[in-house]
Structure 1
Amino acid sequence: MMSNEGLGMTGNVVYEKAYKLAIRIVNAYRYLCDERKEFVLSKQLLRSGTSIGANIAEAQGAISKADFRAKMSIAYKESLEVQYWLSLLKDTGYLKPKAFESLQADAAEVSRILCKIVKSSTQTSSNSKILSPN
């Protein structure tokens, strides 16, 4: 099993939390497919849940501030999508309330962090434009 340490992301709190969430999402996907025989909604959850960390990883290699903001914004939107799919899976009876609450709490935490990063990077960019001589 490959760890996220090979990507040079240790110490990056949001990446580490997103990576752990992705592992939980993969395990939830397996459960939903194997035990609950649900294949459509769970695939959407898998896609969005693993996309968060991938976009954060891409943001770390951004070639500009705008590129960084764009990737982190996508990661944030994917985290919101995860919360949607989790709610839908719970409300349709595929996901038990206890599992939902735990996964939802992790997804909400990642969303909050990403939202702060996106807002902060946007404010920094806006401030630099105001202060720029051009």
Structure 2
Amino acid sequence: MENNLYQKAYQFAIRMVRAHKHLSKEKKEYILSKQLLRSGTSIGANIAEANGAISKADFSAKISIAYKEILETKYWLNLLKDTGYINEEIFEEVHSEADELAKITYSILKTTRIEN
């Protein structure tokens, strides 16, 4: 399960790196694309850390951070679309990938959440 999520997040991170390169080179947009790069690549990094967690609480905390980074990434994607830096087709495709990652991470969170 986590390996599949890791692979999906890694492929998403590659897409974010390419998006950043395109937006900064072709569109001369540096600020929003840097934010997208940071949050979009952080998802996989946190999943990688979760896979090496030393406890269930540590695992859950890292997956929670990954989930929050997905939400942030979706925010930057919306902003880039609404300001004309990315078109609707690209937005829908990438946003759909982010949604898939969000659904998987949220599902994992529901099963690993520590009850107080």
- Per the TM alignment, residue 78 of structure 1 is displaced from its structure 2 partner at its CA by 0.2
- Per the TM alignment, residue 28 of structure 1 is displaced from its structure 2 partner at its CA by 0.6
Unaligned runs of 5+ in 2: none
Count of residue pairs the alignment pairs up: 116
- Per the TM alignment, residue 13 of structure 1 is displaced from its structure 2 partner at its CA by 1.1
The equivalent residue for 2:3 is: 12
Name the larger-Rg structure: 1
Question: Match for 2:88 among 97, 100, 110?
Answer: 97
Higher relative contact order (CA 8 A, sep 6+): 2
Paired AA for residue 17 in structure 1: K
Paired AA for residue 48 in structure 1: S
- Per the TM alignment, residue 96 of structure 1 is displaced from its structure 2 partner at its CA by 1.0
Paired AA for residue 34 in structure 2: K
The equivalent residue for 2:38 is: 47
The equivalent residue for 2:71 is: 80
Structure 1 outlier segments of 4+, above 2 Å: none
- Per the TM alignment, residue 63 of structure 1 is displaced from its structure 2 partner at its CA by 1.0
Residue 107 of structure 1 pairs with residue 81 of structure 2: no
Helix, strand or coil: the match of 1:63?
coil
Taking structure 2 as the reference length, what is the TM-score of the superposition? 0.95
Q: Distance in 1 between matches of 2:90 and 2:20?
A: 12
Identity of aligned residues (%): 59
